[in-house]
Structure 1
Amino acid sequence: MFAKDFITKGEVVFIKGGHILKRDQIYSSGTINSYFPIDDNYFLGAVQSYEEDDIKLFVNHSCNPNCGIRGEITFIAIRDIAVNEELTIDYAFVDNEDYSFNCSCGELLCRNVVTGFDWKRKDIQEKYFPYFAAYLQNKIIND
């Protein structure tokens, strides 16, 4: 996804939509590619396959993202974003899942390997805490 217009830091970029689903429902719905965590056990996502393309988020990870989260579902610009610049987020802002992948963001300070538990990293928390999903902010505060 790319910016069609100049986006100012703090501006709302988009709001995630979907149905509220429990963890077991995301696997039984057959639409696992559209889910988005809003809590450890609740997600937003499609319940029918025809909804999936409209609900999916096509936002890539970057170790130097230009978007973050306010609350649970509102994505905001964490810096000014130029026209035609790719919109990116650090998956550490939203995910609390057991996965890992080799990062190819190409940023100078790339982590090289991204995991679903990167939200626990103190360096990421210190740099980006205001842009974590609220449920992860609560985990960090109560940790």
Structure 2
Amino acid sequence: MIVAAEPIAAGEKIWWCPCSDDGFILSRDEILHLIELQPHLRNFLCWYSHMTEDDTYVIPRTFATQQHDDDECVLFNHSCEPNCGFDSDYGQTIVAMRSISIGEELTYDYSFLETESSLIRGLVCECNTPSCVGTLMFDRYRDEEFQKRFYLYMSPYLQRRVRELKTKWYSTKCFTRSATDEKRKSLHALEWIQAGEIVARFSGPIDIDNHFIAKASKSEATCMVDAHKQVISLYDLPPQSEITLNYHGKL
């Protein structure tokens, strides 16, 4: 817990988090593999990582010893009614969203950093505020009212996700894998998706360049597009399954 030692004005810069500069950047698969090999690291890796993409996380360089490296930013607790957020000009700086009194705890909403593929998805919130959401599923960034109130205080990654929603909407049951030298950015199932579920939606022309959905190659497409430009699962898809389309036979 961190509390205000003196009055803090709205907009005042409070903290600079060096995590992104000092940490390792690992993919979701790499972290899960690390946890599989060293289960005792699970809590540390889940709690002290933060997202930079749907499948990319920053973890402390000290993860092997489970030390925080004296970075007090990890002491900021979550609140569904936060008084702090991230500076939109420089995402590693924590700023006051309103005036804060002496002795008041400094908090931010973890939804400013995380989306559905968060390693702490399902965390039960205990902030006890009137607007407490109960369980953190990290999908609040999809809510237009939440966007209006907090967009300027979200991390650069969250702001990018909000902008993407306007043209590349996909289900909370999906996540993207970052592009590699061999493959473009792609869409995958985060959890089981049942046949007939809507997994994504096109807002413009149904074209491979207008979404993260790959063209089916040798394997059969896992989805189809209906007359409303909604991408529908053709089969029950297990986690990690790639969302693919036959763009020539899409309707």
TM range (shorter): 0.7 to 0.9
| Cα distance, 1:140–1:50 mapped onto 2, change above 3 Å | closer
Q: Give the whole-Å Cα distance in 2 for the aligned partners of 1:26 and 1:54.
A: 22
1:67 aligned residue (71, 74, 84): 84
Task: Give the secondary-structure state (helix, strand or coil) at the position aligned to 1:52.
Answer: coil
Q: Name the structure 2 match of 1:118.
A: 140
Gap regions ≥5 residues in structure 2: 36-40, 166-251
CA offsets 1:104-136 (integer angstroms, 9 cap, x no match) = 212222223322222222221121111111111
CA offsets 1:66-108 (integer angstroms, 9 cap, x no match) = 0011233111100011111101111111101351233221222
1:91 aligned residue (92, 110, 133): 110
The answer to whether structure 1 residue 132 and structure 2 residue 154 are counterparts is yes
The one-letter code sitting in structure 1 at the alignment partner of 2:83 is N
Report how many aligned residue pairs link the two structures.
143
Q: Give the whole-Å Cα distance in 2 for the aligned partners of 1:36 and 1:84.
A: 27
The answer to whether structure 1 residue 52 and structure 2 residue 71 are counterparts is no
Q: Give the whole-Å Cα distance in 2 for the aligned partners of 1:37 and 1:84.
A: 30
The one-letter code sitting in structure 1 at the alignment partner of 2:53 is D
Q: 1:12, 1:76 within 8 Å by CA — same for their partners in 2?
A: yes
Q: TM-score, length-normalised on structure 1?
A: 0.84
Deviation larger for 61-70 or 96-105: 96-105
Task: Give the secondary-structure state (helix, strand or coil) at the position aligned to 2:85.
Answer: strand
The answer to whether structure 1 residue 34 and structure 2 residue 48 are counterparts is yes
Gap regions ≥5 residues in structure 1: none
Q: Give the whole-Å Cα distance in 2 for the aligned partners of 1:4 and 1:94.
A: 25
Q: 1:95, 1:119 within 8 Å by CA — same for their partners in 2?
A: no
- Report which structure shows greater RCO (CA 8 Å, sep ≥6): 1
| Cα distance, 1:134–1:112 mapped onto 2, change above 3 Å | same
Q: TM-score, length-normalised on structure 2?
A: 0.51
Q: Give the whole-Å Cα distance in 1 for the aligned partners of 2:55 and 2:109.
A: 21
Q: Which structure: larger Rg?
A: 2
Q: Note the C-alpha offset of 1:51.
A: 4.2
The one-letter code sitting in structure 1 at the alignment partner of 2:125 is C
Identical aligned residues as a percent: 25
Give the alignment's Cα RMSD to 1 decimal. 2.3
Q: Give the whole-Å Cα distance in 1 for the aligned partners of 2:4 and 2:55.
A: 32
Q: Give the whole-Å Cα distance in 1 for the aligned partners of 2:24 and 2:10.
A: 29
